[in-house]
Structure 1
Amino acid sequence: MTEQFPPPGCPAHAPSAHPSGAVRLYGEGLSGDPARLYRELRREHGPVAPVLLDGDIPAWFVLGYREVHQVTSNNELFQRDSRRWHAWESIPADWSLMPFVGYQPSVMFAEGAEHRRRSGAISDALLAIDQFELRQICERLADGLIDAFAGSGEADLMADYALRLPLLVVTELFGIDPTEVPQLVHDISESLDEGPGAIDAHQRVAARMARLVHARKERPAADVPSRLLAHHAKLAEEEVVIDLLVVMAAAQQPTANWIGNTLRLMLTDDRFAVSLSGGRRSVGQALNEVLWQDTPTQNYIGRWAARDTQLGGRRIRAGDLLVMGLAAANNDPQVSPDFTTAGTDSNQAHMSFSHGEHACPYPAPEIAEVIAQAAVEVLLDRLPDVVLAVPAADLVWHPSLWMRGLTALPVEFTPSYAPR
């Protein structure tokens, strides 16, 4: 039975009166140095800051590690169904952040037993992926991408490599026609932005996924969609479509940025350079450091308060929207590791995959790590003298407060050719 929420206009839907000094989390300049923004917000407002989203829509930005942990651990008090939001009357249908908050009957917005049914099916479908076979797929696809530019001696490792590999892997695991991959990359990337084309891009991806699931219902195969359709949770075809969209979006842009951010770190930080005195720090260490300091998913919308409560010294009203500051929590000085100090490289207590029941379902983070690690290792093995083609300071971050990734990663290397 669908839970009935109070109608707009009743006391439970009265929006909070935000304190003066709420910070706009949109506009020029906010994405260039997010760590500085988080420090300033923490210094001025503490672990929970009043903010304004696009169009001056009020929300709470949860910055503290302890507070993010508290919110993501308490599913009864801080819930995922966005229909609880008291601000819907103020939200235009074409709001740029609608892809993040517009309710859909997907695993992302499901709660309680329904969420466990949906996420359990996803976990089981992903658990059936053989990790050794996955690594072989990643290496083969990475080699194929590198073959295309290895002979030129130059490449943009974002456009030519990082942005393409995760979706190539996912399309193989999903049984998607490889000819659809270029447009899928474009549409998924656009759907995750807060630009005007986000909604249309999401609809195009959804249409492609619906065609795939319908085909697999008629002709099952050894792939993720077929396993979801056959799962004992008895997911409807529509449920499989929308949940596969969630899995695909989560696998594509965040993993691509994880690869790109790790390559940037290893190409710009002397700790990861090969020297005559010894080998560089490992790819695994670089991947982990990126999750702490330049995590691909910076901020996440969100949670909605089920009732009035207190959080980080703030009074939170029923129906308030909370934005999870995952990167800010990782950079909380009370918990953030000092990666210049020995022995901190193995600390994996970051919030980069969120936490609690609505975190990335197991084993999705492990699958993303296999893809990212294979991508970086294969590239460095194939192009051992790769260097940046521009000064590190000239690298440009994509203008998004929600995702952290480079617009381009131009490199140079000694040309080589794939063996015939």
Structure 2
Amino acid sequence: MAAQTSRPTETTTVADALDRCPFEPETIDGHRDDDGCPEYLLPSTPALVQMLEAPPRVVLSEPERAALPPALVLPPSDADRDGVIDDEDRCPVTAEDKDGFEDEDGCPEADNDEDLVADATDQCPDVAETPNAFKDDDGCPDEDPDADGDGLGFEADRCPLEPGDKTDGCPREPKPALALPGFALPLVVAAAPTVEAPQPAAAPAGDLDEDGQSDDVDSCPMSKEDGDGFEDEDGCPEPDNDSDGIPDSKDKCPYEAEVINGVKDDDGCPDKGEVIVHVTENAVVIDKVVQFKPASATLAPSASSLLKQLAATLKAARALSVEIQGHTDDVGRATANITLSQKRAEAIKTFLTKAGVDGSRLVAKGYGPTRPRASNKTAKGREQNRRVEFLILGEAK
């Protein structure tokens, strides 16, 4: 009888939930007793057992990526090389002047204090000049001086360069202009008649100027009548019969007044053309605007014709004394605007003087933005406030 193979003891000790062979009892033999399977059902060869076992899990790692090179950082550009980079430079192609005044904006400031005196000649480049006709070209502020020594400072003195009385600082009190169209004659109140004591008989009158008019009826006993047929009975010479400002010696029409309109105003004859300069009761008015180059006291080319007509009018109205007033809007510093208006008024006075108007009849005064004609809140109003006016002060001496 063939020998039978002995089996190991069969004892189930593994719960079905964990038993790989729930219908076959585990063989408790010290070999894999926790899988619930009898070992006689498994391959007995260790090599075959190893092949049947699950292979180890291999986790592949991602390949390392090569690091990118750092981004190239370019230095900020500075086209004008003034130390202020172009992104922050308000004047990227014009170098900052590095004078300690607003150097961070990158723009040169030719006039730091905006007093119209360039820093190159300004003795106080960071403090504005006081425009008061006293050392106005040094660029430094001054006290309110009395340049003409009449006891009135600049603010109160309407004639700061001419000594005058205490009312306005001018050498005369304004009087109504006479003998011009549009001027009312002064009211003359007749004095009560007086009884004069009898005078001794006068000696026969002579004729000192030998013009044929006895001195007792000669209005100009020391000046000889010119005998030109014009008012010869008064005994006075009339160098300009028609009172058009052109002496008879040069007047082609000595008995007809020139019409001042920019058309041959120096020949003394009336002609056709638009009259733009008018004498009113209080002022000499120009219908057009006297232009200057922007932000300067230099007259624009268009101003020449207007001022020539103004000069001709003033030469004809020899009895008038005029204040040339410069006015501005309120844009910018008030001190700078007052300085600009003063220089513009002086530029017009210089033009008129060179054109033959007696300079003693003219006063130049800049008021800046202190006397607006319209609101400065609109462009139209500011344009109206930038102007020049010619105020009649009265009769010239």
Q: What TM-score, normalized to structure 2?
A: 0.21
Structure of larger gyration radius: 2
- TM-score in terms of structure 1 length: 0.20
**Larger relative contact order (Cα-Cα within 8 Å, sequence gap ≥ 6):** 1
Write 1 or 2 for the structure with the bigger share of helix: 1
